[in-house]
Amino acid sequence: MFRTANAQLVFQIEEISLYYYDITFNDNVINEDLGQGPYVFIKCQIINNLDTPVVLEPSKSTIKISFRHNRSGYKVEAFSLPFQDIKELTIFPKDTVDLSFGKYLLLGTDIFKYKQGDYTKEMLSILPTLKVAYQDEKIKICADEIKNIIIK
């Protein structure tokens, strides 16, 4: 049974850095990263607002990024290493835990088009709808507010 931790834990998206959203392909330069679409690097925090410790199980967790585009919903799984290598992690009262991860956001979706260089319009549509969810065997929390976006 899951405990949805709305009032007990706060899950925040501190920062999203966006890369490769508008590129120009050049036949003379080979960079495999450029052909995979926009890349997001997300920094999150989990804050314990309780008066008692909370135990997370990162090694048994999933982290999912969800977003909407053109009335369709998408979910992609992300991995936060070494965070997800930890068996148990105790967050003491008023403490925070940082986790970060990166993902080629559109790769594997029908939004991604091979050799498309400019995803500016798509990303302007997606970013306001982006959410990150953390779930392990006991806790499920979701963050939908982005504090800061860095466009590189």
Which has the closest alpha carbon to 101: 73, 69, 136, 65?
65
Per-residue pLDDT reduced to its tens digit, 80-123: 988 899 999 999 999 999 999 999 998 878 887 766 678 888 88
Percent of the chain with pLDDT over 90: 60
CB atoms within 10 A of CB 74: 18
- For residue 41 the two structure tokens come to 């690097």
Q: Fill in the amino acid letter for 52.
A: T
* CATH number of the domain encompassing residue 95: 2.60.40
Residue 103 has, within 13 A of its CA and on its CB side, a CA count of: 23
Per-residue pLDDT reduced to its tens digit, 134-150: 999 999 999 999 999 99
Tell me, what's the pLDDT at 33?
55
Range of the domain at 88: 3-151
Position 20 confidence tier, pLDDT thresholds 50, 70, 90:
confident
Number of domains in the chain: 1
Per-residue pLDDT reduced to its tens digit, 34-79: 567 889 999 999 999 999 999 999 999 999 999 999 889 999 999 9
- For residue 71 the two structure tokens come to 């009335």
